[in-house]
Every structure is written in structure tokens, then in C-alpha cells.
Amino acid sequence: MDKEPSFNSQVKNIYHLLMVLFLLFIISGGSLIYYANNPEAFSFKKETSNLVAVSLEEDSDRIENGIHIRTGLIEAEGLMTVVNNCTNCHSAKLVTQNRMDADGWNTTIKWMQETQNLWDLGGNHEIIVNYLVTNYPPVKKGRRMILTNVEWYELEE
Ligand code: HEC
């Protein structure tokens, strides 16, 4: 009569132990599966950098009041072709500060192709020159407007 209860309690202990192990197994297995599906769930650092990058990218081709903000180029037909081909090597300012007729722009582009490794623009050449001539034509005005309404006076000797 001495052995029986001890054997029983041993079985009980083993049974408890197995239950605990089984529960641990379920819990850790469950969290592993959960982690595999939500890798961020256990990282306590809040990752905001992704959000910033996305919004910057969205903003990079923003146009306000007819101006492409990132480059300062005028919004018009062919804008993105010019942005993609003419702002890689130098600032778009070099484009917007120059005003030329078609000959002038063609010569500039040819010069860059011959001396500055500008690539062959193919079908984009016409789109680009059209955009440039339309939006950045030569300024017709002289260095100052011709004076009008001047009251001339005679010089007296
Ligand atoms: C492969 C590089 C490259 C690309 C792409 C490029 N350029 Fe240039 N461009 C240059 C270099 C280099 C200069 C000289 C910069 C300097 O003088 O500081 C230049 C100068 C210029 C100038 C000033 C020329 C002058 O007489 O001072 C204009 C205007 C210009 N580029 C317009 C354009 C336009 C329009 C496009 C698109 C078709 C374009 N660039 C694309 C390299 C490039």
C-alpha cells in the first residue's frame, strides 16, 4: 500500500509535465506561425522611414501653378521627356535660363551629343525641341524696352 499512491502521483506528475510541454509547444508553434505572417509584429521600433520615402516619391513630380516643382520647368507637352533627358547631368536651371529658337536648341543638343556624351534622343529629339522652342523661345525684347512717350527738349548752346 505504500507504492500505489506514489506510482499514481508519478503518473500524475508525468501527465502534468506532458501537458505543460504540450501547451508550450502549442504556444511557441502558434507564435512562430504568427511571426512568419507578420514579421513586424514583434519589432518594437516604429518604422516610419518607409512612409516618408513613399510620400517624397509621390511629391517629386508635383506640379504647382504650371511649374514642375522639382526642376522648375514649365508644365507643357513633353515636360516629362525633357525632365527625363535633360536634368540628369546638370541642373534644369541650365535649361530654363536659356532661351533659343529651334536652331539654337538643336545646336546646343548636338554640341552636348558631340562633346558631353549626351545620348541619341531618337524620337524624343523632336518632342524635346518642340517643348523648348514653345516654352523657352528667344526673348525678343532688347536689354530694355524702347522708350516711348519721352518729352524731348532742345539743347541750348
Ligand atoms: C550627358 C549629360 C548631359 C545631358 C543628358 C544633357 N546635357 Fe546639357 N550640358 C551638359 C554639359 C556637360 C554641359 C556644360 C555644363 C557647363 O557648362 O557647366 C551642358 C550644357 C547645357 C546648356 C548650356 C549650353 C551653353 O551654351 O552654355 C544647355 C542650354 C543645356 N545643356 C541643355 C540641355 C538640354 C535641353 C538637354 C536635354 C536634351 C540636356 N542639356 C541634357 C551635359 C548634358
Query: What's residue 154's pLDDT?
Result: 85
Average pLDDT over residues 34-53: 70
Query: How many Å lie between the centroid of ligand 1 and the Cα of residue 95?
Result: 7
Query: What's residue 149's pLDDT?
Result: 80
pLDDT at 145 over 80: no
pLDDT at 10 over 80: yes
* CATH class of segment(s) 74-140: mainly alpha
pLDDT at 55 over 70: no
Nearest ligand 1 atom to alpha carbon 132: 35
Return the closest-CA partner of residue 61 out of 73, 50, 70: 70
Query: What is the domain partition of the chain in residue ranges?
Result: 1-44, 74-140
Query: How many Å lie between the centroid of ligand 1 and the Cα of residue 76?
Result: 20
Average pLDDT over residues 130-156: 82
Q: Read off φ and ψ for residue 68, nearest 5 degrees.
A: -75, 110
59-74 tens-digit pLDDT = 788 999 999 999 999 9
Regarding predicted confidence, which is higher, 54 or 130? 130
Q: Which helix (H) or strand (E) holds 67?
A: strand 67-68
Return the closest-CA partner of residue 128 out of 99, 102, 90: 102
Average pLDDT over residues 22-47: 84
Q: How far apart are the first and last CA of the chain?
A: 150
Mean pLDDT estimate for the chain: 86
Q: Which amino acid residue places its CA nearest to atom 27 of ligand 1? A: 94
Q: Which amino acid residue places its CA nearest to atom 11 of ligand 1? A: 116
pTM greater than 0.85 (yes/no): no
Under the banding of pLDDT at 50, 70 and 90, the label for residue 38 is confident
